[in-house]
A and B are shown apart, each in its own frame.
Chain A
Amino acid sequence: MEIVFYAIIALLVLALVFGAVLGFASVRFKVEGNPIIDQVNELLPQTQCGQCGFPGCKPYAEAIVSGESINRCPPGGQSTINALADLLDVEPEPLDEEHGAEKPTMVAYIREDECIGCTKCLQACPVDAILGAAKQMHTVMKDECTGCDLCVEPCPVDCIDMIAIETTTRTWSWTLPSKDAESGLIATDMRGQAV
Chain B
Amino acid sequence: MNLPLKDITESKQRVWPLTGGVHPEENKHQSTSTPIRPAPMPEKLTLPLSQHAGAPAEPIVAVGDKVLKGQMIAKATGFVSVPVHAPTSGTITAIGKEAIPHPSGMHDDCITLIPDGLDQWCELSPVKEFQSVNPLDLVNLIRDSGIAGMGGAGFPTAVKLSPRSPIHTLILNGTECEPYITADDMLMRERAEAIVAGAEILKYLLNSERCLIGIEDNKPEAIEAVKKAVSQSDNSHYIKVVVFPTKYPSGGEKQLIQILTGQEVPSGKLPSDLGIAVQNVGTAVAVNDAVHQGKPLISRITTLTGEALSSPGNLEVLLGTSTRHLLKTAAVSDQKLATLIMGGPMMGFTLDDLDVPVTKTTNCLIAGTREEFPPAMPAQACIRCGMCAEACPASLLPQQLYWHAKSENHEQLKHHNLFDCIECGACSFVCPSSIPLVQYYRASKGEIRAQEAKHAKAERSKVRYESRQARLEKEQAEKEAKRRANAERAAKLKAAKEASAKQDSSSSTTAAVDPVQAAIERAKAKKAAGATASKPAKTVLSAEQKELKIQLSLANAQLKKTRRALTIAQEKGEGDVEKLTADVSMLETQVAKLQKEFDAASATEQPKVATPDAEAAKKLKIESAMAKAALKKSERALATALEEGNSETEALKEAVEESRKKAEALAKELADATTAAPAKPAAADDEKKLKIEQAMAKAALKKAERALNKAREEGSSELAELEKAVEQSQKKLDALTPAQSQASSTNSQEKSSDPADDKKLKIEKAMAKAALKKAERELAKAQESGSEDIVSLESKVDECRKKLEQLEEGKPSVTVTEPEVSKAPAKVQAGDDLKKLKIENAMARAAVKKAQRALENAEGDTSALETVLIEAQTKAAEAEKALAAGS
A-to-B contact residues, CB < 8 Å:
41, 44-48, 56-57, 79, 114, 116, 126-129, 144, 146, 156-159, 167-177, 181-187, 190, 195
Contacts and interface: CB of A to CB of B under 8 A. Distances in A.
9 contacts: A116-B839, A146-B457, A168-B108, A172-B106, A174-B103, A175-B443, A176-B439, A183-B378, A187-B378
A117 B259 CA distance: 65
A176 B467 CA distance: 39
A149 to B, nearest CB: 14
B462 A158 contact: no
B406 A157 contact: no
Contacts of B459: 46
B738 interface: no
B377 A114 contact: no
A176 B380 CA distance: 15
B464 A114 contact: no
B381 A182 contact: yes
A57 B462 contact: yes
Contacts of B850: 158
| Top-9 shortest CB links A-B | A173-B446, A158-B846, A46-B458, A174-B442, A46-B461, A127-B464, A157-B842, A172-B104, A174-B443
A79 B458 CA distance: 14
A160 B138 CA distance: 49
B849 interface: yes
Contacts of A186: 380
B468 interface: yes
A130 B444 CA distance: 34
A174 B381 CA distance: 21
Contact of B405 (A128, A169, A176, A187): A176
Nearest to B408: A176
Contacts of A146: 457, 461
A129 B464 contact: yes
Contacts of B436: 177
Nearest to A195: B375
Contacts of A172: 102, 104, 106, 446
Interface in B457-499: 457-462, 464-465, 467-468
Interface in B85-113: 100, 102-104, 106, 108
A45 B459 CA distance: 8
B378 A177 contact: no
Given A169-B108, A173-B450, A185-B378, A156 B766 contact: yes
B404 to A, nearest CB: 12
Contact of A159 (B442, B449, B458, B842): B842
Given A128-B464, A129-B464, A174 B446 contact: yes
A144 B378 contact: no
Interface string B838-876: 010011011001100000000000000000000000000
Contacts of B839: 116, 157
Contacts of B443: 173-177
A183 B381 CA distance: 8
Nearest to B446: A173
Nearest to A113: B838
Contacts of B406: 176
B299 interface: no
A184 B439 contact: no
A96 to B, nearest CB: 19
Interface in B340-379: 375, 377-379
The main secondary structure of chain B at its interface with chain A is helix
Contact of B468 (A41, A126, A156, A176): A126
Contacts of A45: 454, 458
Given A177-B379, A184-B381, A169 B102 contact: yes
A182 B406 CA distance: 11
Contacts of B408: 176
B130 interface: no
Contacts of A182: 378-381, 435
Given A173-B445, A173-B450, A195-B375, 8 more contacts: A127-B464, A128-B464, A157-B843, A174-B439, A174-B446, A176-B406, A177-B439, A182-B435
B468 A127 contact: yes
Contacts of A129: 464
Contacts of A175: 443
A49 B451 CA distance: 19
B465 A177 contact: no
B471 to A, nearest CB: 8
A125 B377 CA distance: 52
Contact of B849 (A46, A158, A169, A174): A158
Contacts of B664: none
Contacts of A47: 461
Contacts of A128: 464, 467-468
B419 interface: no
Contacts of A44: 458
B714 to A, nearest CB: 44
A187 B846 CA distance: 58
A144 B108 contact: no
Nearest to A182: B379
B50 interface: yes
B378 A56 contact: no
Interface string B619-655: 0000000000000000000000000000000000000
A190 B465 CA distance: 55
A58 B661 CA distance: 64
Contacts of B468: 126-128
Nearest to B450: A173
Contacts of B445: 173
Given A159-B842, A169-B104, A187 B380 contact: yes
B887 to A, nearest CB: 13
B465 A126 contact: yes
B447 interface: yes
Nearest to B55: A170
Nearest to B107: A169
Contacts of A171: 450
A175 B405 CA distance: 11
A190 B261 CA distance: 48
Interface in B405-461: 405-406, 408, 434-436, 439-440, 442-447, 449-451, 454, 457-461
Contacts of B380: 182, 184, 186-187
Given A169-B106, A169-B108, A173-B447, A195 B378 contact: yes
A46 B469 CA distance: 14
Contacts of A168: 106, 108
Contacts of A158: 842, 845-846, 849-850
Nearest to A82: B408
Max chain B Cβ within 10 angstroms of own Cβ: one of A48, A157, A175: A157
Contacts of B842: 114, 116, 157-159
A187 B377 contact: yes
Contacts of B464: 127-129, 144
Contacts of B849: 158
A127 B465 contact: yes
Contacts of A56: 465
Contact of A176 (B103, B378, B440): B440
A181 B467 CA distance: 49
A146 B766 CA distance: 30
Contacts of B454: 45
B412 to A, nearest CB: 13
Contacts of B846: 156-159
Contacts of A169: 50, 100, 102, 104, 106, 108
Given A116-B839, A157-B839, A172-B106, A48 B378 contact: no
A47 B462 CA distance: 8
Residue of A41, A128, A173 contacting most chain B CB atoms (<10 Å):
A173
Contacts of B845: 158
Interface string B678-715: 00000000000000000000000000000000000000
Instruction: Tell which of B378, B405, B406 has the most Cβ of chain A within 10 Å.
Output: B378
B51 to A, nearest CB: 11
Contacts of B450: 171, 173
